[in-house]
Amino acid sequence: FDIDIDDKYIEDYDQALTHYNDDRPKGTRDPERLAFLGDAYLEFIVREYLLNHKGNFSLGEMNDLKKPLVENDGWTKVAEKIGLGEQIVTVQHDKRFENKTEDKTRILARSFEALAAVLSYDSGLNNPKEKLIDLFIKLGYLPKK
Using the predicted structure, report yes or no on whether residue 43 has a pLDDT greater than 50.
yes
pLDDT of 81-129, one tens digit each? 999 988 888 877 667 666 554 467 788 999 999 999 999 988 778 888 9
- Mode of pairing for the β-strands spanning 89-92 and 95-98: antiparallel
Residues with active-site annotation: 39, 113
Per DSSP, the residues of 47-65 read: HHHHHTTTTT--HHHHHHH
Q: Which of 26-35, 62-71, 105-114 has the lowest mean pLDDT?
A: 26-35
Beta carbons of 73 and 105 less than 8 angstroms apart = yes
Beta carbons within 8 Å of 108's beta carbon, 6+ residues apart: 75, 76, 79, 80, 84, 85, 88
Beta carbons within 8 Å of 107's beta carbon, 6+ residues apart: 19, 88, 99, 101
Q: Of 84, 137, 90, 143, nearest to 109 (Cα)?
A: 84
pTM: 0.85
R_g over Cα of the chain: 16
CA distance 90 to 129: 28
Q: Of 112, 109, 114, nearest to 37 (Cα)?
A: 114
pLDDT, greater one: 102 or 22: 22
> Best-predicted range by mean pLDDT among 20-24, 67-71, 79-83, 92-96?
79-83
